[in-house]
A and B are shown apart, each in its own frame.
Chain A
Amino acid sequence: MPTPKTVLALCALLSLAACAVPGPGEAPDGIYDPQEGANRRIHAFNKRVDSALGGGGDGGASAIPAPILAGVANMADTLRTPRTVVNQVLQARLGRATRNTLRFGVNATVGIAGLFDVASGIGLPEDKSDFGETLHVWGFPEGAYIELPLIGPATEREAVGKLVDIALNPLGYVYLPSPERYYSVGIRAAGKVAERVEYGDTLDTLLYDSADSYAQTRNSYLSYRRYQLGDTETGAADYIDPEALDTEGF
């Protein structure tokens, strides 16, 4: 009998082999999106879910007091830190992995099970990583842009990374005993809500105030993710020439 872990890993490997690389002219402005039609339908669905949960309005989770949201976000971050350490080791970034191990130790103890981010105050700021980044470090291409139901924007490579991360997180669903695994999933889900509130205005602008929220989400996600990864090779040239345009008449 294959365990859930091996099934996950197999699925991930198979989909990685499918990571498409754009041919010449297939990625204008650094955007490769061959499944745009399907992606747009998923985007519309995600947007309906977001607005049903209070996105774009004043109600919903934004009514929760800021210190509680911060506490939830800190706990979710603490639960994610072991996963970050595993990935940074896989990326051969041992200094950062060590700092994150210390960060986890400090916040899980002095920070009262991760409720307070004490480590940031002593020079160990948040430094996240995931298997999507590991794949980038290992040289896998980004693949096509995709929107995942409920999860949101991703690329093929990041989607594979998310799958593998479920299996990689020592404090995730796969490894914990029965009640704890649900607490862990619950806290991380609540952490997503806290993040949605923290970046509320920015995301509201993106989703509800732009002429084409799909195109803007795609543009912002790809730029931000490449920036996070330090990837200056994929996509549009990083440099925009301030003299290379005909501005006559403007």
Chain B
Amino acid sequence: MTRHFLTRREMISGSAAAALCALVPGAALAVTAAQASALVERMLADINRVIESGKSEAAMIADFERIFRSYGDMPYIAAYAMGADGRRATPAQKKAFTNAFAGYVSRKYGKQFRKFIGGKLEIQGSKKVKNAYQVSTVALLRGQSPFDVTFFVGEKSGRFYNMYVEGVNMLLTERTEVGAMLDRRRGDIDAMIADLKRAG
């Protein structure tokens, strides 16, 4: 079962990681195309190691959350997902949302990664687009036609902030999802956060 998998210790290390995330981007230097590509390569290697570890699903998802938090620009991804509703959120709600969201995304995408067993993502190249780097990869999975996965790394943050799978954009998908969850709760942010902790 993956529901309520966050133990108190993981919560604490999670918020510590979130605090670090908040500190690091400002300090990080602008990256180059090669560094962006290397970042994606390291992230994919870490994900592969987890997939091949043969751990339980709950353990794998906890690992994915660590990877997601260390390579991803969490504050940005969370702020984007919340969209305009983020403007009326209190600081405590924003923090709680970012934490719940990191867990939710790790569960949701972590389950998808299992399909990657025996497959791989090949890096095709990277290019600068305005103030971001676009790293193109091709997913080669068993029994499926190859498909494109594109990662976006912020120039300033040096972190991953978006991903396109065959043109379908993670940020927009998650903003749609969070928006729908808020609608279902008639705009109640706390209720949405509580739902998010169980979703994915």
Q: What is A's interface to B at a CB cutoff of 8 Å?
A: 29, 66, 70, 125-126, 198, 201-202, 205, 209-212, 215-216, 219-220, 223-224, 226-228, 236, 239-243, 245-247, 249-250
Contacts and interface: CB of A to CB of B under 8 A. Distances in A.
B94 A249 contact: yes
17 contacts: A70-B143, A198-B144, A201-B112, A211-B180, A220-B168, A226-B167, A227-B167, A239-B129, A239-B130, A241-B131, A242-B157, A242-B161, A245-B76, A250-B74, A250-B76, A250-B79, A250-B95
Contact of B95 (A29, A66, A212, A249): A249
From A220, A243, A245, A249, name the one whose CB has the most chain B CB atoms within 10 angstroms: A249
B55 interface: no
B176 interface: yes
Given A250-B95, A250-B98, A223 B167 contact: yes
Query: Considering the complex of A and B, which 3 residue pairs feature the smallest CB-CB distances, nearest first?
Result: A227-B167, A212-B180, A242-B154
Contacts of A236: 172
B73 interface: yes
B15 interface: no
Contacts, number: 105
With most chain B CB atoms within 10 A of its CB, the pick from A226, A236, A241 is A241
Contacts of A227: 164, 166-168
Given A223-B167, A243-B154, A216 B95 contact: no
Nearest to A235: B172
Interface of B: 73-76, 78-80, 82, 86, 89, 91, 94-95, 97-98, 108, 112, 115, 129-132, 143-145, 152, 154-157, 161-162, 164, 166-169, 171-173, 175-177, 179-181, 183-184, 199
